[in-house]
Amino acid sequence: MAFKTLFIAHAPDADYKKHKSIIDTGKYWLLTSVVKSQDEAIKLSKSIYEKEKIDAIILCPGFSHIDVAEIFQALDGKVSVNVARGDGPSSRIAQKVIQKEFFNK
């Protein structure tokens, strides 16, 4: 039985039904998906949990503490919910590109 993980990232032009991929080593199953909004992240998390009985969710750094809590609560605390965050300098590097690409700043 594999350890099953869902990784979710945000992008303003995402279609979570289309922008996804699966890696399956036999021992580790990883679904990646990109969503537009928190509502989509919750909907996707619930759907994948029901279908695949995932063990963990990893969220991109764009998710807030409140977003994490909402996803955890939506799954009744049955799934580990984590956030992939870098150190300060790394976050600033990524933020500069995200601001430019997502928000034209």
pLDDT tens readout for residues 24-41:
999 999 999 999 999 999
Q: What angle do CA 95, 90, 71 make, to 5 degrees?
A: 65
pTM: 0.90
Could you tell me whether strands 80-83 and 28-35 are parallel, antiparallel, or unpaired per DSSP bridges? unpaired
What class has domain 3-103?
alpha beta
Say what the pLDDT of residue 103 is: 85
25: exposed, middle or buried (Cβ count in 10 Å: 0-12, 13-18, 19+): exposed
